[in-house]
Structure 1
Amino acid sequence: MARNNSFIRLEGSLDGLTFYRKDGESFVKTQSRVSRNRIMNDPAYKRTRENMQEFGGAAKAGKAFREAFAGLSQTIGDTYLSARLSGLLKRIIKLGAGDRGERELDLASYHEQFRGFEFNPNKQFDSVFFAPLTGPTINATRDVVDLTVPDFNTDAFINAPEGATHFSLILATGYVSNYGFVPVLTAYEPVDETVNARGSVTTSSAIALGGMVGSATTLQVDMSALGAIPVEVAVFVGLGIVFYQEVNGNMYALAQDHALKVATTG
């Protein structure tokens, strides 16, 4: 893949080249000469088919993760969130049991691989918020998550963007099932669908920037209404911050500069 630096911006295909734009830049790549039918049937492409199957499983699980954190994925996640999730999940598949192309995506065993995952690596949570806190903690039944942030000086522990007057802390919880390959469907499917892609978010009230907060901030996400959480399901806990600008008594969320990370898992 190469960049197109010409002042003429082309899009589409021409003489075996495909021109396209992404993130405001122009790129060009060669078109594939191998037909899909050959890839799907030629023994020489067996490894390619195996990789395609496992990538499909990673993509499905990544979609479930994004759905569990639905609103936050869209507002805080970067352009490459989906691709970064698929890459991480593909690495976890490689740790799973089974034959190549059909290895289990065992999130319940390897959920710790997600700890520290940033929804936007260009705006990392720990570079914005660094006040001491307790948690987030997951209870024994994995259906309640708690966070306590003692009173702190916002000038010392928040790196706020220009124009921000207030902030809110976010505590989010999402569930994603293990995925297994189903031969009759030639595709990966969730092992347990009952809570797969389910999630919830709790947000603090808007807190003024400048000086002490004035009291401890406590947040809780209670998912006990879902019933018992299956052992084949992993829980992911997100910790984030959103910034606002107050105008005439109204709070307006800034267009960017928010941050969210996977703080713990279980």
Structure 2
Amino acid sequence: MANQKGFIKLRGSLGGLTFYENKGKDVVRTTGGVEKDRILKEPAFKRTRENMSEFGASAIVGKALRMGFANIIKSMAGNYIVGRITGLMKRINSVGPGIRGQREFEILNNKSLLEGFEFNKKAPLDSIFYATSDPPSLDANRSVATWLVPDFNTSNYINPPEGATHFRLVLAVTVLSDYAYANAIKGYEPVAPDENETNGIAFSAEIPIGGMVGSDTTLSVDLGFAAALPLTVGVVTAVGIIFYQEINTAFYELASDNALKIVLVG
């Protein structure tokens, strides 16, 4: 690999060389790899095509989950969240029914792979918030999620970052459909598109850090479904905590140690 010194900036491949920019420097290297047309057509690359199909689908399903939590994920997610969620979906895909390259994503059947997922690996919820509470519950239609947190001492059961004066508890819920391969489009699509990515979120009031909360905290999210959801979707429920600093009666969200965890897929 060499650096370009001339004033003419080239990009792309030419004469067996590839020109590109890396960390602000213009770089040239010999062109390698296999031509795309060969990968897409030759029998020798059948396994590669299968892997490409399923990895691409894992990214699509992962994006659907992220979109369902779009209202909160920027405050809660750590680095590499896209790759981590894509990897999580690939694990679900790897145990799905079907032939390689077309294996399905079954959410409810693999809920154990989703439950326990931390959006911020550097701030796991259990290391930040340890007050005793049961997981959220779902009603018969799986449309309403409710989380009850009994009164607790904030001095003993949360681990706030430096500068935090208050916190809010969070209940976030989204519907994630199963995904299946469709020959008509040569790709994956949601089995239940109408329900997919339906979501809601609830926050507690800003709670001062220090002493008892003063009462139980109940958060509820109603997704608005009048009938029971099909078994081809999972209702992904996450709980979390966001920290704030109060300055002159205004609350400013802190950038570190906010935590969100998937605790229930029902």
- What range is the shorter-chain TM-score in? 0.7 to 0.9
Supply the distance in 1 between the matched residues of 2:31 and 2:112 (Cα, whole angstroms).
39
Give secondary structure in 2 for the equivalent of 1:169. Answer: strand
Who is 1:102 aligned against?
102
2:71 counterpart of 1:71: yes
Supply the distance in 2 between the matched residues of 1:238 and 1:58 (Cα, whole angstroms).
20
Residue type of the alignment partner of 1:258: N
Unaligned runs of 5+ in 2: 1-10, 24-28
The correspondence of residues 167-186 of structure 1 with structure 2, limited to 5 A, is 167-186=167-186
Identity score, percent: 43
2:48 counterpart of 1:45: no
Pairwise CA distance, 1:17: 8.2
Supply the distance in 1 between the matched residues of 2:199 and 2:77 (Cα, whole angstroms).
16
Supply the distance in 1 between the matched residues of 2:30 and 2:73 (Cα, whole angstroms).
32
Cα distance 1:138–1:30, how it changes in 2: closer, same or farther (>3 A)?
A: farther
Who is 2:60 aligned against?
60
Q: Please identify runs of 4+ aligned residues in structure 1 that moved more than 2 A.
A: 12-21, 29-32, 224-228
Cα distance 1:134–1:17, how it changes in 2: closer, same or farther (>3 A)?
A: same
Paired residues, what number?
A: 249
Q: Quick check: 1:66–1:73 contact (8 Å CA) kept in 2?
A: yes
Supply the distance in 2 between the matched residues of 1:32 and 1:164 (Cα, whole angstroms).
52
Pairwise CA distance, 1:139: 2.1
TM-score after normalising by structure 2: 0.88
Supply the distance in 1 between the matched residues of 2:118 and 2:147 (Cα, whole angstroms).
19
Give secondary structure in 2 for the equivalent of 1:234. Answer: strand
Supply the distance in 2 between the matched residues of 1:119 and 1:157 (Cα, whole angstroms).
20
Supply the distance in 2 between the matched residues of 1:72 and 1:31 (Cα, whole angstroms).
42
Unaligned runs of 5+ in 1: 1-11, 22-28
TM-score after normalising by structure 1: 0.88
Q: Quick check: 1:238–1:260 contact (8 Å CA) kept in 2?
A: yes
Q: Quick check: 2:141–2:227 contact (8 Å CA) kept in 1?
A: no
Pairwise CA distance, 1:42: 1.4
Who is 1:89 aligned against?
89
Q: Quick check: 2:138–2:144 contact (8 Å CA) kept in 1?
A: yes
Supply the distance in 2 between the matched residues of 1:171 and 1:101 (Cα, whole angstroms).
35
Pairwise CA distance, 1:135: 2.4
Pairwise CA distance, 1:16: 5.3
Q: Quick check: 2:141–2:225 contact (8 Å CA) kept in 1?
A: no
Residue type of the alignment partner of 2:40: M
Supply the distance in 1 between the matched residues of 2:202 and 2:30 (Cα, whole angstroms).
47
Residue type of the alignment partner of 2:234: A
Show CA shifts across 1:23-59 (max 9, x none): xxxxxx9965211111111111100000111111111
Give secondary structure in 2 for the equivalent of 1:167. Answer: strand
Supply the distance in 2 between the matched residues of 1:119 and 1:18 (Cα, whole angstroms).
34
Supply the distance in 1 between the matched residues of 2:22 and 2:254 (Cα, whole angstroms).
30
Tell me how large the CA RMSD over aligned residues is: 2.1
Who is 1:116 aligned against?
116
